Each structure stands twice: as structure tokens, then as C-alpha cells.
Chains A and B, each alone.
Chain A
Amino acid sequence: MSTIRERIDSAMLHPELRAEGDPDAIIRDGRRLDHAEGTSKPLRPAPEPQPRGAKVRGNRPIDQQEAAARFIAATEHEKMHDERLWDLRQKRDREMHGIPEWEELRSLASAIKEHTLTHLDGYLDQFEANARSNGIHVHWARDAAEHNQIVHGILSDHGATSLIKSKSMLTEECGFRPYMASVGIEVIETDLGERIQQLDNEDPSHVVVPAVHKLRTDVAEVFSRTIGTDPGNSDVHYLAEAQREATRPLILNADAGMTGANFVVAETGTFVVCTNEGNADLSANVPKLHIASIGIEKIIPRLEHLAVFVRLLSRSALGSPMTQYTSHFRGPRAGGEMHVVLVDNGRSERLGLEEFWTSLKCIRCGACMNTCPVYRRSGGLSYGATYSGPIGLIIDPTFNARKYSNLPFASSLNGSCTNVCPVKINIHEQIYAWRRVLVKQHEVPFVKKAAMKAAGVLLSRPAAYRAAIAAADTALAHLPRFVIYNGLNAWGKHREVPHPPKQTFHSWYHANRGAKR
């Protein structure tokens, strides 16, 4: 450990300083001479502070732009985040090119999910019957509050006061950790990214890599505060090992374990959990009590369908053929107890939305986030919601139309998300459809509405329109004004305004071809 303090954090020092182990460093009597190096000061006295997420003020609409602007201003964070996730997108592409039947798999996955969702009640019935006959206790929760109460009940019945868990977006959705804290049950996240976020009292920013927005220096700062690591050491292997050693005793001594589930198989009463760390298997197999929180939309009919999804999931998410652990739970182990909590929390209602029900096909792979150029530059925390990125834009308004009314506008509608989605959700088309819904429900700023109305009037009256852009100067003044609502400033803040030409096309045509007609 003592050598760690001597190690140079290469991220902080001037690139011309020699890195540790550099053969050109000068060594005398086994000690590295640093008298010449000592005069070189670190380029940056301190690591770039981590930009925090969207400011959440009750039910007020989240200002995603404001948070995105702060993320972009944190240039190191933005660059790392954008490059890291673009790399995952490229790895996904590489996997795709290795599977000739890739597009067929996507079509199959989409069809299996749509069939299942249109027969959801029957398959849930079938799952429950099979799970029960294998010894699993099955509970049903209408909403987040009921989920939390049910889990609390199970834990109380067993006198459990500590719970280890693996990653579950559903539990995030349910506000599970704050609830458990309020009833005095200690919850320990075991997924490295989730644990970092938990220790930092911050939400996960991405469904698969929860701390992807953090630099290693951010993690070093969090761990030094919470698990006693060296604040000057941001070596990733060191940090990961420290977390492993700190969490292991908590795992061994926990009263209960909780997981989510990626897939549920009706035919066999099985639920499937995919991780890369094996932390779900630790959470499920060390304590005697295993509770699984599962959204009702996770269900698929048969084992043969599972092959399609397992082949698509990790390739889409991380560009890896399979997660390191893909575990199938069909019943408790000898001496153990297994509970499943099936959660609705708005899903059955979403099923009834004609334009949006197919968002329930989502398998939480995060591919849409990785490819989204807005997400990569904004960071997942800028959306101020459990689900961020493209999928977030189309499901968050169902949780709270007012609070998330800005989100569907945080998109350039480029459509890349739709193309990478393994279950073929038409995400960008649903984003477009949500805009219409929110406008109809008056969930848009009055100023924007006024500007759009004015634009609609002007553009439908040829004479008025012509008058407005008759001269080149007024074209510049008028044209941008009716597509923006806060003046020319919005266009011109970070980019140059277009150069006004000598005459419009209309004028040119009139002058050069007008006589023809």
C-alpha cells in the first residue's frame, strides 16, 4: 500500500513527465531520481469535478438542456463518456456482422414479444402456476409502493435487516432503496457500477453501466470517502479490488439477497438473470432467502424463445456474445426460500396505449443509449428520470407527463436508436408521437406554442410569407424568428448565423424565368 502513494497518477501530470516503469527514467541505487522531474508541476492541480445531473424540483418539468450544457462544459467527462459509449456501439456492430441471421433474430425477438404482450394475462398465469409448483412464492404488486411493502413484509417475516442485491432498474423505478432506508433495512448494491452510485448517493445513469458518466478520479473520490481507499489512487484495478474486498464480508453476512430478472419463461416457471460480475448469483446463492423483483413485461413463452433473446442481449448491450453469467432460476435450493414479486406499476396501462404499447418489448439492453448522439453528450443523469436516453423519452411521460414533458424534445429524431433496438421498437417514431400528445395536453411552454401558431399562420399565407422574406435582410431577421421563440440568440449562441444571399430563389425565378409563364 505504501508504494501506492508514490505512484504517479498519469492523468494529472504533464505528458512530458515520465510514467512509472518508463525505461528512460533515471534510476540510481534502486531509487528513481526525480530531482529534474520535481520542477515540473502538474498541468491540472485537481481532477475535473463531476458534473451532476438534472436539477429536480418537485413536479416541475425537467430541464434536460441545462444539465446537458453542464455535462458538455465538463470536457473530460463528456469526451470519455461519448467515446466509451460509441465504442460499445461499434463493438455491437462488430458482433452484428458476425451473425448472418442478425436481422432475422431481431424480427423474431420483436414478434415473440408482441405476441406475448398481446396475450400477457395467459402467460403470466402459466408462469405463476409453474413457479408455484416448483416451490417459488409468487406475489403481485400493483405499483411501486406495494412492491416495497411486499418486499419489506418478506424481509420482516424472516427477521432480515440486511439485504444484498444485484442491479434492477425496476427497483430504481420503485424508489426501493430510500424506502428500505426509511424502515431500517440496510441495502448493499453488489454490481460495481451500482455500488459506486449508491455510495455517492446518486442515481445510476445507464441501464447497463450505471457509473459510465464517472471518470476514475470520481470513483477514487467516492471510494476514499466511503470505503477508505487512497484518494490519490485512481488506478481502476486498485479501485475494483478494493470494492471486491469491502463488499465480500457484506455478502457473506447478509440476511437476504435480491435480484431482478432479464427474462421470465412461462413454460417452465423460470426467471433468468444476466450479469458480468456474478453478483446476482452471489446475492441469490449465499443468503438463504432470495427475492426477485420482476416487471410483468419480462415474460416470454418458452425456452426456445430464450435463445433468441440471450443471443441478442449482450451483443446489443456491450458487443460481447454473452454475459459472463446467465443464470436460470426455477426453484429454491434445498434449505432456501425463493420469492418472486411481479410488478405492474403502470405497465398494464401502457399496454392500452395504441401508439406506445410496443415500448413494453424493451429488454433493457441500453443499445439505444449507446448510439444516441444526444445521450452520449448529455449523460444519463441529465434526463432526471430512472430511464434515460431514447427509451426513457418514450416511457417516462407515462410515469409523469408534466415532469418529463421536455424529454421527447431532447432528440434530433435521427432514428439510430430504432435501428439498434434488438426488439425493433420504433423509438424515434414514438418520440415524434409523444410530441403531438404533449402539445395536445398543453404540456409545452406557452411561448413555444405561440411561436408555432404564428409560424403555422404565416406559412399558410403565400402573400404574407413572401412579404416577410422579400428582402435578404429581413429574411435573416424573420425566418429564424418563427422557428425559435427566444430570439436569434438561440441559433447564434454557439454557431454563426447563415449568410444572407443577394436574392431569394423566388425572386431569382421571377426575374429569370417569370416571363416563361
Chain B
Amino acid sequence: MSSRDDILASIRANLPRVDRPLPHVPLFDDDPPASLLSAFKESLHRMGGVFLDPPTSADILAPVRAKIADAKIVCSTVPEIAGSRDIAVVDAPRDLADVDFAIVRASFAVAETGSVLLSDADLRVNGVAYLAQHLIVLLDPADIVVNLHHAYRRPEFRDRHYASFHTGPSATADIEGVLIHGAQGVRSLSVLPVARAAGTPTH
């Protein structure tokens, strides 16, 4: 008998003989916030993320350009802005170790928690979202869902191999509860609301 068979046999022999039906899980969306974008912004801020207010000028990406102005290496995975490192030619993740800023687009976001969902389709090379020193995320406000119950109905969880909620920057409070940003991953995470260009696929 293989280990698999042994384990399954042991489980079957020990299953508790009690009736435990699977409950129905509601969506808990009876009282949604008036503005999903405002709620998202507040949650993001609470978790240490930065919300870049859309500029009044015609250049919708001005806040991003300002942020990356002094950066040495910028890696962009979005068509809206070009960086100095082309993700398409990156072979190994460790080739991204010197990236200062990575710019990506989120598949969607969650107002309840201030999280953005970054999948392998968004990142191209998953490691870019963790090896860069700072992360800038473009988010279409139409892609914000109210809570996690709604989030888990999204198709990304069924057709992507990797999908990660990022809620603010990397953090830890392992030493005496002192909050640190940039524990291992990015030191900062900024979100700029930018609608997707017409014709680009949502996922």
C-alpha cells in the first residue's frame, strides 16, 4: 500500500460518525459603502499603502512619473508607461534584484481590506512584485469589489496559476511589536487609479 492509500484508509477508519452539513455562505453585502473607491482608499491607507490622487493635469500618470523620477532601474509591465528594464526579456527572477520601482496593473481590488490582486498574468515574472524596492500599482476603479466574498467569485482564482492579494507594503512587527515596512518585500506600495485602456482585456 502506498502512503497515500495508508493515509486515506486511516482517515476513513477514523471519520467521526456525526452529521455535519456544509453551511451556505452569504455575501455579507447588505450594507455596502457609498463609494467603493473611497472605502478602498481608506483601507489601503490603514494598511500602510499610499493612494496617489489622480492629477488634475492631462497627464494621468504624472504622479507615477514624479515617484520614479530619481529611480535608477524601473521595470514596467504596463503599456501606459515605459521603464528601463523590459520584463519581456527577463529570464530569471534574480535579474530583477536591482529594480527600484516596479509598475504593474492590478486585476482587481477589494474595498473591505484595501487589497489589490496581482496575478501571474499581471506580473509576467511573479518575483518582480517582491524583489523591487517599491511597487506602484495601476488600478481601474471599475475593478473594485466590495468585500472578500465577492472577490473569491472572480475568475482569476480559477484560471491563474498564481494570484496574490497585496495589502500595503511588506511589513513585520516581529521584534517587540515595532512596525517595520519593507521587511523582506517592497518598502512601499502605491496605488494610482487609472482606467484600463479601451480594448485591453480585463483578465
Residues of A whose CB lies within 8 Å of any CB of B are 80, 84, 87, 101, 107-108, 111-112, 114-115, 117-121, 124-125, 134-135, 139-142, 146, 190-193, 196, 209-212, 214-216, 219, 236-237, 239-241, 244, 247-248, 251-253, 268, 270, 276-279, 281-282, 284-286, 296, 301, 303-308, 310-311, 318, 320-333, 342, 344, 348-349, 351-352, 354, 357
Contacts and interface: CB of A to CB of B under 8 A. Distances in A.
A252 B131 CA distance: 9
B147 to A, nearest CB: 8
Contacts of B142: none
Contacts of B149: 304, 307
Given A328-B157, A349-B10, A277 B47 contact: no
A189 to B, nearest CB: 11
Chain B, interface size: which category?
A: 35 or more
Contact of B25 (A284, A305, A351): A305
A324 B171 contact: yes
Given A80-B176, A115-B22, A252-B97, 13 more contacts: A108-B23, A140-B3, A236-B178, A278-B186, A279-B185, A281-B126, A286-B131, A304-B152, A322-B47, A324-B170, A325-B165, A351-B11, A357-B14
A314 to B, nearest CB: 9
* 8 shortest interchain CB distances as A-B pairs: A278-B185, A352-B14, A331-B161, A193-B174, A348-B10, A327-B164, A277-B183, A236-B178
Contacts of A310: 148
B87 interface: no
Interface string B160-190: 1111111111111111111010111110000
A93 to B, nearest CB: 16
B173 A209 contact: yes
B77 interface: no
B161 to A, nearest CB: 4
B134 to A, nearest CB: 13
Majority SS at the chain A contact face: helix
B127 interface: yes
A305 B167 CA distance: 20
Given A114-B20, A307-B25, A276 B157 contact: no
Contacts, number: 243
A320 B162 contact: no
A108 B15 contact: no
B8 interface: yes
B43 to A, nearest CB: 7
B166 A324 contact: yes
Contacts of B15: 118-121, 351
B157 A270 contact: yes
B165 A285 contact: no
B22 to A, nearest CB: 5
A190 B168 contact: no
A285 B22 contact: no
A219 B175 contact: yes
A357 B16 CA distance: 8
A3 B164 CA distance: 40
Contacts of A139: 3
Interface string B77-121: 000000000000000011001000000000000001111000010
Interface of B: 2-4, 6-8, 10-16, 18-23, 25, 28, 43, 46-48, 93-94, 97, 112-115, 120, 126-127, 129-131, 147-149, 151-153, 157-158, 160-178, 180, 182-186
Given A140-B3, A307-B25, A333-B161, A210 B174 contact: yes
B174 A101 contact: no
A236 B93 CA distance: 29
B167 A322 contact: yes
A140 B163 contact: no
A133 to B, nearest CB: 12
A276 B11 contact: no
A284 B151 CA distance: 23
Contacts of A342: 7
Contact of B47 (A108, A119, A324): A324
A307 B152 contact: yes
Given A277-B171, A286-B131, A324-B171, A344 B22 contact: no
Contacts of A193: 172, 174-175
Nearest to A125: B8
Contacts of B8: 121, 124-125
A192 B174 contact: yes
B92 to A, nearest CB: 8
A266 B176 CA distance: 38
B7 to A, nearest CB: 5
Contacts of B94: 252-253, 286
A307 B151 contact: yes
A25 to B, nearest CB: 24
Contacts of A253: 94
